[in-house]
Amino acid sequence: MNTPAPIDQLQQRLGKPASGWRARLYAIIFESDTPKGRAFDLALIGAILLSVLVIVLTSVQSIASEYGAWLHGAEWFFTVLFTVEYIARCLCVQRPLAYARSFFGIIDLMSILPSYVSLFVPAAHVVMGVRILRLLRLFRILKLTLYIQEYSMLGDALLASRRKIFVFLSVVFLIVFLLGTVMYVVEGPEHGYTSIPTAVYWAISTMTTVGFGDLVPKTDIGRTIASFMMLLGWGILAVPTGIISSEITHQRGQRVLPLRVCRSCLSTGHDPDARFCKDCGAQL
Amino acid sequence: MNTPAPIDQLQQRLGKPASGWRARLYAIIFESDTPKGRAFDLALIGAILLSVLVIVLTSVQSIASEYGAWLHGAEWFFTVLFTVEYIARCLCVQRPLAYARSFFGIIDLMSILPSYVSLFVPAAHVVMGVRILRLLRLFRILKLTLYIQEYSMLGDALLASRRKIFVFLSVVFLIVFLLGTVMYVVEGPEHGYTSIPTAVYWAISTMTTVGFGDLVPKTDIGRTIASFMMLLGWGILAVPTGIISSEITHQRGQRVLPLRVCRSCLSTGHDPDARFCKDCGAQL
Amino acid sequence: MNTPAPIDQLQQRLGKPASGWRARLYAIIFESDTPKGRAFDLALIGAILLSVLVIVLTSVQSIASEYGAWLHGAEWFFTVLFTVEYIARCLCVQRPLAYARSFFGIIDLMSILPSYVSLFVPAAHVVMGVRILRLLRLFRILKLTLYIQEYSMLGDALLASRRKIFVFLSVVFLIVFLLGTVMYVVEGPEHGYTSIPTAVYWAISTMTTVGFGDLVPKTDIGRTIASFMMLLGWGILAVPTGIISSEITHQRGQRVLPLRVCRSCLSTGHDPDARFCKDCGAQL
Amino acid sequence: MNTPAPIDQLQQRLGKPASGWRARLYAIIFESDTPKGRAFDLALIGAILLSVLVIVLTSVQSIASEYGAWLHGAEWFFTVLFTVEYIARCLCVQRPLAYARSFFGIIDLMSILPSYVSLFVPAAHVVMGVRILRLLRLFRILKLTLYIQEYSMLGDALLASRRKIFVFLSVVFLIVFLLGTVMYVVEGPEHGYTSIPTAVYWAISTMTTVGFGDLVPKTDIGRTIASFMMLLGWGILAVPTGIISSEITHQRGQRVLPLRVCRSCLSTGHDPDARFCKDCGAQL
């Protein structure tokens, strides 16, 4: 785990000012290993969570009709706050354009734009759901914790299995598409399977064992095919689990594997905490 | 498995009276390795199960309207019984407050209070559901069996995986929240997605493959997103299984590890094929 | 896999006649390693499958109303056939009572009795579903195949995990019972949660990710609890999979594990097909 | 992975003409390691995907009513295109009958026939769903990629587990059939369980945790049995996952095995720590 985290790479790309108020601002906003930087991160996360809560509450009809004015005010408060933060971020890095075009820079901009747009185009209001993308910033605070190793381990397991997963998904998609079309032919529009896309949607909901029940087969042959699909989906479900399971077991094995070599007898396989060679007794 | 069970730690904290009727009562109520203690435990479990049965039957309309008086009587019988037991427990330990504030002490109190409260506040009746928390006492009888090792093994597997599980849950929650909001925007209140919390509830029921069917996407784009979510949920399901599976396999492996002890430094954890102690270099 | 199969143990208990027509009948009916015995077994399986098909077809309204007489005739044909077979089995063993009281003997009797009872008590007709228990005989033919090893392997895996599974089920039942009761209190009879048993049924259908949708939470707090239950059920699902997965991996490992020891250097870990010691080169 | 792929075996069977325009056509159509062959493959895949898209769009009522003529034209364009391709394939191989009777040959024919048949029998239109079988050709392009190894690995895992899977499916089918029949007896036609096949369909949808909700138990005993089935299905789900998981882990282990070769007898499969050949005893 010695490779620099994406966050560090980003910071190198943005460039830290040498000194002055910009350097101090940079240390607060972009670094999280100083007390001030950590306090800023926590305050920012609090603000993000609160702004998300405002959006969620606004969506609840009964709350919106009663506290509409308060929620509207809070929304503008957070919009201004995040605008100030965005400008501060742009100011304190050496290459503002690099920040603006970075992943987090785009998210920061996208989370404040909808409010301003809504002043002119009311329909843009729905776009505000994008604001919750700011939640992705939460991952940054995780840098401080040990959890990042687990993230990378899960990521490694998925990455190492990406070919198997791609193969698996392509097979699943083919099966779902074929069986969905068969059901469209068998059940037909009179039982709700109005088109092939709808039938494929039903096939996916059946084979993933979700089973909404908004569409159900009504003919005997349709039910027979559905039964077969459910059993097949059940069996297929075992494949990704097996892939991931085997991958995690493998990674654990690799991590535990010590690569210590005895200088005396050149034997390997010593425990990480061994002080003497288990084969010849020489000091390691 | 040489660490004292939580039960034993609790008993040490409560303190056993040196002699007299309190010591004899203590041996019956708190210890389960004597015949009387075991008989008391079994009788208590029977009483708990019966009292729970009474609560369950009271909830069934047709039974409650016919045998209401009997059930009401039985409820008060068990309330008095458990009150006597609670007082006896408080009396026979050296530090009654330590018992009252312990996990089981609070459960014991909470399981008798609602009945008394219902004498004055009828609405407290519903709180009686808390009584079934007494079922947690069932775990105590398991101390007598070998099953406790399996409990601790499962517990260890979950504990060792807690970081991975936390990471996994945080990612799942983020995905569910984002996709739920997207569906709220796409489908809207006219298709039942009345608020973001409702949409998130639907997203959870979809990605966990529960699929109640009370809310279903009706637009084409909504169904496309739902199909993607189902496949994603299917794939994500593989991750916790892989984590737990790998953890249990690992624990089993550790248990199989031989217990070779170095006669020189008494260290353990040597490999099956080691010829010299890895800690002091002495011949094994 | 040298332990005698339950079938062989049963045959030893029943006793094979020394000679005469009973011995020949015994060889046909109870043994399956002679051509006649195997032919009898296949014919019996065919008859069982056909008789099951008759029962299935009788249950389909449209078919029953049209071919009722044919199906009724076929049912009596199979009833008489299986009666003859039952009497033949009783006749050709040395201890008919031992057969009649054995597992398969009881099944054989139970599969013919309902038809006779229906002559007097028409309502007994529904009991005929028991006849499909004869399908259990299908397992006997499997003795001829290599598949029996896979059966026993799966059985061993389940048997070895029975404590963990018991612990798991007891925890699951406790959780389902508690959360079901909570939902009964929260949602109440006005939303369909008419009693605690009904609420527990809903809790099971939710946590196992079945999600019928006949009962769904309608209050906000109910939906929040349901969301938590779905995620919990999703996570808990990983536990039995991990247990079984680890057990099967372990069993495979044990089977592969060679226990060959070199007589020259006493080293172990040689492959099953090795002819020379990999450590000292001596012949194994 | 040195065994020839099925595609290569097919090509050997078909026979490549020695020279002339047929040989050049063969190289373009059947081989994919030349630039022209790869371009042909990509164009063919594009045509297949587009023709499938046409079929899907035709099934959507709103699109079909507006762009019906265009879609009809596109369909005939692709039909003619694939007919030309089919004739070209037949012409350029040495044994056209061998191609026509091969798996891909039958699929190729089946994907163009329905359009011609629909000229005479309009009802055959629905058979056009078969055209999407051409999607199976997609697998051919995968030969060019490294993914084929992952396909064969998954295939190997399924093949090696086929006995366990067969045993598992036979047990599942027996359980589903028995419990479905029990539910038919318990709930009866008045609650929607109109026949045993319908009840078995419900049992499968319950035990695979799909849970459509079109049929739900309404009696107390029916709900109790359903609860038991859900828990059982949940537990049974762990078995195929365990089988596949263990198989993939095993295969990975085999692949990690070093390829040490004995210089004396050229045997392989020696352990990483072996010092002498296990087959001839020579020093490694």
Confidence check: pLDDT of C257 > 50: no
Q: Could you tell me if D244 and A241 are in contact, meaning their C-beta atoms sit under 8 angstroms apart?
A: yes
B269 touches chain A (CB under 8 A): yes
pLDDT score at C20: 78
> What sign does the dihedral A201-A204-A210-A211 (CA atoms) show?
positive
User: Which candidate from B61, B133, B240 shows the least CB-CB separation from C238?
Assistant: B240
What tokens does A272 get?
Answer: 């990480």
Q: For residue B220, what is the nearest residue in chain D, using CA coordinates?
A: D60
DSSP count for chain D of H helices, then E strands:
11, 0
Q: Which amino acid is at D77?
A: F
Find chain A residues with C-beta within 8 A of D147's C-beta: 163, 166-167
Distance of alpha carbon D182 from alpha carbon D207, whole angstroms: 14
Find chain A residues with C-beta within 8 A of D240's C-beta: 234-235, 238
pLDDT score at A178: 80
Mean pLDDT of the region D143-147: 44
D196 touches chain C (CB under 8 A): yes
Distance of alpha carbon B263 from alpha carbon C211, whole angstroms: 60
Distance of alpha carbon D200 from alpha carbon D181, whole angstroms: 7
B59 touches chain D (CB under 8 A): no
D212 vs B213: CB contact, 8 Å cut-off?
Answer: yes
Distance of alpha carbon A158 from alpha carbon A169, whole angstroms: 13
Burial class (CB in 10 A: 0-12, 13-18, 19+), D170: middle
Give the gap in angstroms from C-alpha C140 to the nearest C-alpha of chain A.
25
State the complex-level ipTM. 0.75
Find chain D residues with C-beta within 8 A of A211's C-beta: 205, 209-213
Task: Give the pLDDT confidence of D14-47 residue by residue, as tens digits.
Answer: 667 767 788 888 888 877 677 888 788 778 878 8
Task: Give the pLDDT confidence of C109-158 residue by residue, as tens digits.
Answer: 877 777 777 777 665 555 555 555 555 555 555 444 444 555 666 677 77
Distance of alpha carbon A89 from alpha carbon A111, whole angstroms: 14
User: Which candidate from D209, D212, D241 shows the least CB-CB separation from B241?
Assistant: D241
What tokens does B266 get?
Answer: 């008494």
D275 vs C279: CB contact, 8 Å cut-off?
Answer: yes
- Of residues D130 and D75, more confidence is placed in D75
Tell me the CA distances in angstroms from A210 to A174, B194, B234, B238, C70, one per residue in order.
Answer: 19, 22, 9, 15, 41
What tokens does B34 get?
Answer: 């004597």
A235 touches chain D (CB under 8 A): yes
User: Which candidate from B201, B240, B243 shows the least CB-CB separation from C223?
Assistant: B201
Gyration radius of chain B over CA positions = 27
Find chain B residues with C-beta within 8 A of A212's C-beta: 211-213, 216
Distance of alpha carbon D95 from alpha carbon A110, whole angstroms: 62
D59 vs A197: CB contact, 8 Å cut-off?
Answer: yes
Confidence of residue A139 (pLDDT cuts 50, 70, 90): low
Give all chains having 3 or more CB-to-CB distances under 8 Å with chain A.
Answer: B, C, D
Residue A174 phi, psi dihedral angles, 5° rounding: -60, -45
Confidence check: pLDDT of C252 > 80: no
Find chain B residues with C-beta within 8 A of C238's C-beta: 240-241, 243-245
Mean pLDDT of the region A115-138: 60
Distance of alpha carbon A32 from alpha carbon D171, whole angstroms: 57
Q: Could you tell me if C211 and B212 are in contact, meaning their C-beta atoms sit under 8 angstroms apart?
A: yes
What contacts B94, CB < 8 A, 6 or more positions away? B14, B15, B16, B17
B157 touches chain C (CB under 8 A): yes
In chain C, the domains with their CATH numbers are 6-147 (1.20.120.350), 162-254 (1.10.287.70)
Which residues are paired to D283 by β-bridges? Answer: D276
- Chain C interface mutation, best of B166, B169, B244, B252, highest count of C Cβ atoms under 10 Å: B244
| Cα atoms in the 13 Å half-sphere on the side-chain side of A144 | 15
Which residues are paired to C283 by β-bridges? Answer: C276
C224 touches chain B (CB under 8 A): yes
User: Which candidate from D209, D213, D245 shows the least CB-CB separation from B213?
Assistant: D213
Find chain A residues with C-beta within 8 A of B277's C-beta: 276, 278, 281
Distance of alpha carbon C79 from alpha carbon C55, whole angstroms: 12
Distance of alpha carbon C241 from alpha carbon C235, whole angstroms: 11
Q: Could you tell me if B47 and B81 are in contact, meaning their C-beta atoms sit under 8 angstroms apart?
A: yes
**Of the candidate ranges B234-243, C178-187, C265-274, the one whose mean pLDDT is the lowest:** C265-274
> What sign does the dihedral D99-D102-D106-D112 (CA atoms) show?
negative
What tokens does A144 get?
Answer: 């401080």
Distance of alpha carbon B248 from alpha carbon B250, whole angstroms: 5
> What sign does the dihedral D223-D228-D234-D240 (CA atoms) show?
negative
Confidence check: pLDDT of C16 > 80: no
What tokens does C167 get?
Answer: 């612990």
Give the gap in angstroms from C-alpha A145 to the nearest C-alpha of chain C.
24
What tokens does C136 get?
Answer: 């259990």
Q: Which amino acid is at B37?
A: G
User: Which candidate from D163, D181, D238 shows the least CB-CB separation from C240?
Assistant: D238
Q: Which of A26, A82, A9 is nearest to A49 (CA)?
A: A82
pLDDT score at B4: 40
User: Which candidate from D60, D204, D240 shows the least CB-CB separation from A197?
Assistant: D60
Distance of alpha carbon D262 from alpha carbon D218, whole angstroms: 70
Q: Which of B249, B203, B247 is nearest to B229 (CA)?
A: B203
pLDDT score at A144: 44
How long, in residues, is chain D? 284
Give the gap in angstroms from C-alpha D4 to the nearest C-alpha of chain C.
28
- Of residues A147 and B195, more confidence is placed in B195
Distance of alpha carbon D15 from alpha carbon D30, whole angstroms: 11
Distance of alpha carbon D215 from alpha carbon D229, whole angstroms: 15
- Tokens 């899907």 identify what position? D56
User: Which candidate from B59, B60, B249 shows the least CB-CB separation from C249?
Assistant: B249
DSSP count for chain A of H helices, then E strands:
11, 0
- Tokens 């189902």 identify what position? B230
Mean pLDDT of the region A128-133: 54
C213 touches chain A (CB under 8 A): yes
Find chain C residues with C-beta within 8 A of B147's C-beta: 163, 166-167
Element (H, E) at D263: none
Query: Residues 32-51, chain C: which have Cβ within 8 Å of A?
Result: none
Task: Give the pLDDT confidence of A224-245 residue by residue, as tens digits.
Answer: 999 999 988 877 777 777 777 7
Confidence check: pLDDT of B197 > 50: yes
- Chain A interface mutation, best of B182, B246, B250, highest count of A Cβ atoms under 10 Å: B246
- Of residues D261 and B104, more confidence is placed in B104
> What's the whole-model pTM score?
0.78
Residue A230: how many other CB atoms lie within 10 Å: 23
DSSP D264: T
User: Which candidate from C224, C230, C246 shows the least CB-CB separation from B205?
Assistant: C230
Please give the mean pLDDT across all residues of chain C.
75
Using DSSP, state whether D85 is helix, strand or coil: helix
Share of chain C above pLDDT 90, in %: 7
B210 touches chain A (CB under 8 A): yes
Question: Counting one residue from B and one from C, how many pairs have CB atoms under 8 Å apart?
Answer: 122
Task: Give the pLDDT confidence of D240-250 residue by residue, as tens digits.
Answer: 777 777 777 77
A61 touches chain C (CB under 8 A): no
A179 touches chain D (CB under 8 A): no
Q: Could you tell me if C109 and C100 are in contact, meaning their C-beta atoms sit under 8 angstroms apart?
A: yes
Give all chains having 3 or more CB-to-CB distances under 8 Å with chain C.
Answer: A, B, D
Residue C218 phi, psi dihedral angles, 5° rounding: -120, -20
Find chain D residues with C-beta within 8 A of A179's C-beta: none
- Chain B interface mutation, best of D241, D247, D252, highest count of B Cβ atoms under 10 Å: D241
Confidence check: pLDDT of D13 > 50: yes
Distance of alpha carbon A189 from alpha carbon A183, whole angstroms: 10
Q: For residue C242, what is the nearest residue in chain B, using CA coordinates?
A: B245
Mean pLDDT of the region C89-103: 83
A1 touches chain B (CB under 8 A): no
What tokens does C51 get?
Answer: 């008789």
Q: Which of B245, A149, A131, B123 is nearest to D249 (CA)?
A: B245
Q: Could you tell me if B52 and B134 are in contact, meaning their C-beta atoms sit under 8 angstroms apart?
A: yes
Please report, to the nearest 10 degrees, the dihedral formed by the alpha carbons of residues D250, D251, D257, D261 taken in order.
130
Residue D174 phi, psi dihedral angles, 5° rounding: -60, -45
Q: For residue D279, what is the nearest residue in chain C, using CA coordinates?
A: C275
pLDDT score at D259: 47
Confidence of residue D278 (pLDDT cuts 50, 70, 90): low
Task: Give the pLDDT confidence of A74-90 residue by residue, as tens digits.
Answer: 988 988 998 998 898 88
Distance of alpha carbon B175 from alpha carbon B193, whole angstroms: 17
- Chain D interface mutation, best of A246, A250, A262, highest count of D Cβ atoms under 10 Å: A246
pLDDT score at C122: 62
DSSP C219: S
Which residues are paired to C222 by β-bridges? Answer: none
Task: Give the pLDDT confidence of A9-65 residue by residue, as tens digits.
Answer: 555 666 677 677 888 888 888 776 778 887 887 788 788 878 878 888 888 888 888
Using DSSP, state whether D271 is helix, strand or coil: coil
User: What is the DSSP track for C138-193?
Assistant: HHHHGGGSTHHHHHHHHHHHHHHTHHHHHHHHHHHHHHHHHHHHHHHHHH-GGGT-
Find chain C residues with C-beta within 8 A of A269's C-beta: none
Q: For residue D250, what is the nearest residue in chain A, using CA coordinates?
A: A246
DSSP C273: T
Residue C200: how many other CB atoms lie within 10 Å: 24
Using DSSP, state whether D166 is helix, strand or coil: helix
A277 touches chain B (CB under 8 A): yes
Element (H, E) at A79: helix A61-92
Give the gap in angstroms from C-alpha D152 to the nearest C-alpha of chain C.
21
Q: For residue A178, what is the nearest residue in chain D, using CA coordinates?
A: D132
Give all chains having 3 or more CB-to-CB distances under 8 Å with chain B.
Answer: A, C, D
Distance of alpha carbon B142 from alpha carbon C163, whole angstroms: 12
Q: For residue A214, what is the nearest residue in chain C, using CA coordinates?
A: C213
pLDDT score at B1: 34
Please give the mean pLDDT across all residues of chain A.
75
Q: Which of D203, D204, D209, D201 is nearest to D237 (CA)?
A: D209
